[in-house]
Amino acid sequence: MKKLFFLTFAIISLIGCSTDDSDNVDATDPGNEEVNSVRLRNDSNFGNVLTDADGFTLYFFAPDAKGDATCEGGCADAWPVFFAEDLTLDSGLNAADFGTVQRNDGASQTTYKGWPLYRFASDTDANQINGDGAGGVWFVAKPDYTLMLVRSQLVGRDSNGVETNLTSQYEQGEEETFYFTDDRGNTLYSFINDTNGVNNFTAEDFSNDGVWPIFGPQLGELPSALDASEFAFIDVFGRTQMTYRGWPIYYFGGDENRGDNFGVGFPQAGIWPILNNETVEAPQGPDDNIEQTFQVTNNGGISYVFEFTSEENPNLELQRGKTYEFVVNAPGHPFLIKEAQGTGTSNTYNDGISNNGASDGVIRFTVPADAPDTLFYNCEFHGLMTGTIFIVD
The predicted-structure confidence for 160-217, as pLDDT tens digits, reads as follows 999 999 999 999 999 999 999 999 999 999 999 899 999 999 999 999 999 999 999 9
pLDDT of amino acid 1: 39
pTM: 0.67
pLDDT of amino acid 285: 73
pLDDT of amino acid 33: 63
User: Are the CB atoms for 296 and 344 separated by under 8 Å?
Assistant: no
Q: 72 φ, ψ to 5°? A: -135, 170
The helix/strand/coil state of 21 is helix
Instruction: Provide, rounded to the nearest whole percent, the portion of the chain with pLDDT above 70.
Output: 91
pLDDT of amino acid 19: 35
386-392 and 374-379: which strand pairing?
antiparallel
pLDDT of amino acid 361: 87
User: Are the CB atoms for 190 and 198 separated by under 8 Å?
Assistant: no
Instruction: Provide, rounded to the nearest whole percent, the portion of the chain with pLDDT above 90.
Output: 84
Alpha helices in 162-295 (DSSP H): none
User: Are the CB atoms for 285 and 321 separated by under 8 Å?
Assistant: no
Q: Which amino acid is at 159?
A: S
323-329 and 290-299: which strand pairing?
parallel
Closest CA to 103 of 70, 141, 151, 80: 70
Radius of gyration of the chain (CA): 27
Cα distance between residue 175 and residue 380, in whole Å = 20
CA dist list (Å): 114 to 5, 78, 85: 20, 21, 17
Provide the Cα torsion 265, 286, 393, 304; round to 10°: 40
User: Are the CB atoms for 82 and 165 separated by under 8 Å?
Assistant: no
- What mean pLDDT comes out for the span 51-77? 96
How many CB atoms are closer than 10 A to CB 80? 13
pLDDT of amino acid 289: 79
Cα distance between residue 279 and residue 341, in whole Å = 26
Cα 300 from chain centre: 34
CA dist list (Å): 266 to 29, 172, 261, 271: 61, 14, 10, 7
Q: Is 206 exposed, middle or buried (0-12, 13-18, 19+ CB in 10 A)?
A: middle
pLDDT of amino acid 14: 32
pLDDT of amino acid 284: 79
Cα distance between residue 220 and residue 147, in whole Å = 8
Question: For the segment 326-373, what is each residue's pLDDT rounded down to a tens digit?
Answer: 999 999 999 999 999 999 989 999 898 988 999 998 899 999 999 999
Confidence of residue 287 (pLDDT cuts 50, 70, 90): low
Enumerate domains of the chain plus CATH numbers.
Answer: 21-144 (no CATH), 148-265 (no CATH), 290-392 (2.60.40.420)
- What mean pLDDT comes out for the span 43-60? 97
Q: Is 322 exposed, middle or buried (0-12, 13-18, 19+ CB in 10 A)?
A: middle
Closest CA to 187 of 261, 241, 114: 261
- What mean pLDDT comes out for the span 294-305? 96
Cα distance between residue 134 and residue 108, in whole Å = 24
Cα 195 from chain centre: 19
What angle is formed at CA 15 by the lines to CA 12 and CA 19, rounded to 5 degrees? 105
Q: Is 269 exposed, middle or buried (0-12, 13-18, 19+ CB in 10 A)?
A: buried
